[in-house]
Amino acid sequence: MERGTAVALLHEDRLFPAEEGTRAIARRLYDGIRSLPIVSPHGHTQAGWFARNQPFPDPVALFVQPDHYVFRMLYSQGISLEELEIGRPRIAEPRRVWRLFASHYYLFRGTPTRLWLDFAFQELFGLTERLSEATADGYYDTIAAKLATAEFLPRALFDRFGIEVLATTDSPLDSLADHALLRESACSGGWAGRILPTFRPDPAVDPAFDGFAANVTALSALTGEDTATWKGYLRALAARRHYFKTLGATATDHGHPTAQTADLSELEAAQLFEAVVNGTAGAAQQELFRAQMLTEMARMSLEDGLVMQIHPGSVRNHNAQIFARYGRDMGADIPAPTGYVEALRPLLNRFGNERALTVILFTLDETAYSRELAPLAGHYPCLKLGPPWWFFDSPEGMTRFREQVTETAGFYNTVGFNDDTRAFLSIPARHDVARRMDAGFLARLVAEHRIDEGEAVELSRELTYGLVREAYKL
């Protein structure tokens, strides 16, 4: 195919700058990074897919059911989650659900979801007509037939995608049995795909989490520590972190409502812990406890070397009816304004100058980029900035991030790209979008004579591969 010709679902020059001279530079930069290995240090795929290596059951289970980007858009247009069979362990009528999805595919025009889906449809399944009501059955049959082949088993796809490392996100109460099986397989000469757990302690550190007190008790059973006491509770969390590390974990992840941190005395912290475990803490005390736990987690990261990720600013489960019926992570999480300068001050006063600590900050509040996040990361040795995340994992979001962050934090206080996805087949598509957008951004700097092309070549490789491996100790 000649570059620049419109063919199939995707144009070869998609997302590159419109001006021809700058576009030519972007093409050259992209050609140097398009085939680099994928490093995916933060996501929500399931280790069990690879441990069991069973075929994905049908197109709906692969493209619709696990992907809240897909079903939240359909829900916003009046299609119920019941109609989409969301939340069911097994889809009763997958073809019917697929036809419903296909007949509304036009809703995704102009969205990154459309880019990701079209990439998978074309590059993996060889489909060349746009998904629609008319093409729904052809799509379904083609995808279903290929899913039944050995080439489309999870491990084969992992290898085909060129994934070097893939991290999952896991509860501190998780046995990590699937990760253990994968590690045993690799050690015995079996499949050697590198899939790592990530320690996500929210169920046991957030008093607002459903079942919090029971989760704290469960920590005791897992570790043998007395989690009825503050010191025993901290020892139990440290023990679970160590167990995650034995199975390859290099990072923790913290999805708190805010970025608030605290640095209480041991006595104050113990008294607060007693209140939250006993259920007598009000909302302000619960927030203070979460704040203290971010500082405690930073202390533990300095001790055990795990990279710390803070993902604040999401009002979780905003739709009360959906939460009551389906539970968490059903596409009803909404961004909220988030402050960082004062919120992080207690943690940074204690650990901000530690070069051995890495804290990666994410945001859903783009107004904080140039005002707070870039200046913080541009000063404190422990801080790095995570890439545009969730709602802003998009061409426009990536552009805004680079434009607002680079002038103060530069490139080397950022950590490349991560896909943060539950939808396995979207991983190569998301990384391809990020690579194209970075090539375009760097090409503009070259065209404006702000950096030379040799520097852009080096930067493009760092943004794609080098920075993420370094930041996450991979």
Q: Compute how many other C-beta atoms are within 10 angstroms of the C-beta atom of residue 196.
A: 24
What architecture is domain 154-471?
Alpha-Beta Barrel (3.20)
Is residue 405 within 8 A of residue 440, CB to CB? The reply is no
56-152 has which fold?
A: uronate isomerase, domain 2, chain A (1.10.2020)
- Does 154-471 match 56-152 at the fold level? no
Residue ranges of domains in the chain: 56-152, 154-471
- Annotate 52-89 with b (16+ C-beta within 10 A) or e (fewer): ebeebebbbbbbbbbbbbbbbbbbeeebebeebbbeee
Q: What is the pLDDT along the chain (474 residues), one digit of tens a residue?
A: 334 444 579 999 999 999 999 999 999 999 999 999 999 999 999 999 999 999 999 999 999 998 989 999 999 999 999 999 998 888 999 999 999 999 999 999 999 999 999 999 999 999 999 999 999 999 999 999 999 999 999 999 999 999 999 999 999 999 999 999 999 999 889 999 999 999 999 999 999 999 999 999 999 999 999 999 999 999 999 999 999 999 999 999 999 999 999 999 999 999 999 999 999 999 999 999 999 999 999 999 999 999 999 999 999 889 898 888 888 877 788 999 999 999 999 999 999 999 999 999 999 999 999 999 999 999 999 999 999 999 999 999 999 999 999 999 999 999 999 999 999 999 999 999 999 999 999 999 999 999 999 999 999 999 999 999 999 999
